[in-house]
A and B are shown apart, each in its own frame.
Chain A
Amino acid sequence: MTTRRLHPAHALRARDVRVSFAGSEVVAGVDLDLRAGEWLGLIGPNGSGKSTFLRSLVRLVPRTGTVERGDGTPPGPTDLSLMPQSPELPPGMPVVEYVLLGRTAHLGWLSMESRADRRIATDVLRRLGLASFASRPVRSLSGGEAQRVVIARALVQQSPVLLLDEPTSALDVGHQVEVLELVDELRREDGLTVVAAMHDLGMAARYADRLLLLERGAPVALGTPEDVLEDTLLSRVYHHPVHVHRLDGHLVVLPQARAPHTPVSAPTPLPARNTTEVS
């Protein structure tokens, strides 16, 4: 894999991006200036439009507004690669074929993968420590392994901007860190720009340079994690009181329990029912 230098074309600019479904606005005017090589965390409650915003950037949903690369041209599939939240793992497809499909955008309508395309795939597989998995069916992988394979496919796409939709939602805490560290390493070494929708605010604060907080599709805060993760703002957007703590230099967001948990002490009798006699 060739090492990339930071290039203005790796940056991305979005102006007034809007997405509507059946008359209601799901993404309501997002402006964004992504610097080349930065990690932007997209945060916000369920239904705040994080996924839809990412999908609208690669035109999986119709949008209005403009999205352009740093040099002013519209981005294509070789500029943005999206890692979906729950990627489809086709039955009977070995890892190496799955990863090779990432070259699709570089192939013509009727052309096939060249030796160079295969080379790129093997290089990425080696780099991510997946060499021994090459012939394994993708369906047979564990969650963490599968996520690495999906990242490998995105890297083979060789686009400078990586869009991640909840990359760690199905993983345990160890694998979460493993995947995010991997993405961060790729960002630093290859100069990739990362936009990641994330649920875990602590993880988002740890890895992202900046956070964009969405509420019902509209941006309500954009800035460093220290600026955005703030008690009153989060409590309002998430409709629940939360407290942001600093622990060993990391930001930790703790929700306040609604009421103290009380275990059921005595068995409650079941309500009487009409019973029919079975003969």
Chain B
Amino acid sequence: MTTRTHAPADALDEAAERAFRLSVPALLGCTALLLLAILASATQGAAGLPVEGVVRALVGALPGVELTQTLSTAQEAVLWQIRLPRTILAALVGASLAMAGAGYQGVFRNPLADPYLLGVSAGAGLGAVLALGFGLDLAWGPIAALPMAAFIGAVLAVTGSVLVARGSFRDPATLLLAGVAMAALFSATQTYALTRLDETRAREVLSWLFGRLATHGWGPVTLLLPYVLLAGAVLWLHARHLDVLRLGDDEARSLGLSPARSRLVVVGAATLITAAAVSVSGLIAFVGLVTPHLVRLLVGHSYRLIVPLSAILGAAFLATVDIGARTLVAPAELPVGVITAFVGAPFFCVVLWRRKADS
């Protein structure tokens, strides 16, 4: 993408050339990190798999590559039917939440924004509680009821927030407050419904609320993948708008951008991707909040870097953290959301502490 045919004239041209552009080393570094995380996650677990065998199996699966396989049939089955679907799901959920977090932070010009801001979490939670509570936790034809209910709940809550703000994407503060109100309403309903459930079901709901990545096969991955590709592309293509919005609405408008329209598109894409992620994995805290900050710290403040790199790093982070969820209290499992918060919160504190010290 950045093949240069001639050396730039001077430092200014070079700076202009670099402006808003993803640097190749940063992209390669993050991708390498993601591949490492996927490999680690694929090999670690109740039954450890040999690293070399897994690498051979993964590389051999690429089209046009022939390699001698060293994994046993049982190990092959573990890799392709259990380990890899879960690893890829973790990576997709991590990428979704991190990208959505970046989108929300850009749109609301607020570093504290996370993907659950407009009530996604409370809406999805209520949907899940209702689905489980009323015995809808059976697969209903090809569509599993719980993810469907969570997705609908999430989209309803955000739609509610937008309607309360009178559909205005001009005034982010009103939208934020509407989100707070809507989240409170949905959480209260969810808590009430939870108290009406028997203990087994209530525990199931709670474990879902803390985030879980347990999967059977590739179903959730194929459910989530189209959203990640589509909404991810929309978010990436609108990253330039988020950079203009950093100047504030007035200046963005006088530069010829419509902040309301850009905000509508970005909030829409970020909400869809979050709702889809939440519906297959429950609520996983901190990935969406922390990852964009990590990118800012490491690479830069432009959303044209933050959106794609957050996706890659968010994927790597969740895939890595999920290893802990599976192995720390084996044979039981920790909700992955507990670990992301355990790792994410102290990390965030360190970032804030250092930033304060710098200024």
Cross-chain contact B254 with A77 (CB below 8 angstroms): yes
Comparing B130-138, B223-231, B296-304, the segment that makes contact with chain A is: B296-304
Per a CB cutoff under 8 Å, which of A88, A96, A97 touches B248? A88
> How far is it, in angstroms, between the C-alpha of A135 and the C-alpha of B14 when the chains are bound?
10
Comparing A27-35, A78-86, A270-278, the segment that makes contact with chain B is: A78-86
Cross-chain contact B253 with A91 (CB below 8 angstroms): no
Known pairs A84-B250, A97-B20, A101-B243; A90 contacts B301 (CB<8 A): yes
A73–chain B nearest beta-carbon distance, Å: 16
Report if A70 contacts B (CB, 8 A): no
Cross-chain contact B250 with A112 (CB below 8 angstroms): no
Cross-chain contact B301 with A93 (CB below 8 angstroms): yes
Q: Chain B binding site: helix, strand, loop or mixed by DSSP? A: helix
Cross-chain contact A118 with B12 (CB below 8 angstroms): no
Q: Which of B244, B247, B248 has the most C-beta atoms of chain A within 10 angstroms of its own C-beta?
A: B247
> How far is it, in angstroms, between the C-alpha of A76 and the C-alpha of B296 when the chains are bound?
34
> How far is it, in angstroms, between the C-alpha of A101 and the C-alpha of B240 when the chains are bound?
9
Per a CB cutoff under 8 Å, which of B10, B17, B256, B296 touches A104? B256
Cross-chain contact B250 with A92 (CB below 8 angstroms): no
What residues of chain B lie closer than 8 Å to A82, measured between beta carbons? 254
B237–chain A nearest beta-carbon distance, Å: 5
Known pairs A88-B247, A92-B300; A113 contacts B20 (CB<8 A): yes
Which of B237-292 touch A at CB < 8 Å? 237, 240, 243-244, 246-248, 250-257
Closest to B252 in A: A104
Cross-chain contact B256 with A122 (CB below 8 angstroms): no
> How far is it, in angstroms, between the C-alpha of A119 and the C-alpha of B17 when the chains are bound?
9
Number of B residues contacting the other chain (C-beta, 8 Å)? 28
> How far is it, in angstroms, between the C-alpha of A94 and the C-alpha of B254 when the chains are bound?
21
Report if A58 contacts B (CB, 8 A): yes
Cross-chain contact B254 with A81 (CB below 8 angstroms): yes
Known pairs A100-B20, A121-B16, A122-B16; A90 contacts B256 (CB<8 A): no
Cross-chain contact B247 with A101 (CB below 8 angstroms): yes
A82–chain B nearest beta-carbon distance, Å: 5
Report if B11 contacts A (CB, 8 A): yes
Cross-chain contact B19 with A94 (CB below 8 angstroms): yes
Known pairs A90-B247, A105-B256; A135 contacts B15 (CB<8 A): yes
What residues of chain A lie closer than 8 Å to B251, measured between beta carbons? 84, 87-88
Cross-chain contact B254 with A60 (CB below 8 angstroms): yes
Cross-chain contact B16 with A92 (CB below 8 angstroms): no
Closest to B255 in A: A104
Interface pairs A-B: 8 shortest CB-CB: A92-B301, A105-B256, A77-B256, A134-B15, A90-B246, A104-B255, A88-B248, A118-B16
Question: Would you mind naming 25 contact pairs between A and B with Cβ atoms under 8 Å apart?
Answer: A58-B253, A58-B254, A60-B254, A77-B255, A77-B256, A78-B256, A84-B251, A84-B254, A87-B251, A90-B246, A90-B247, A92-B300, A93-B301, A96-B16, A101-B247, A102-B255, A104-B255, A113-B20, A118-B16, A119-B16, A122-B16, A131-B11, A134-B15, A135-B11, A157-B255
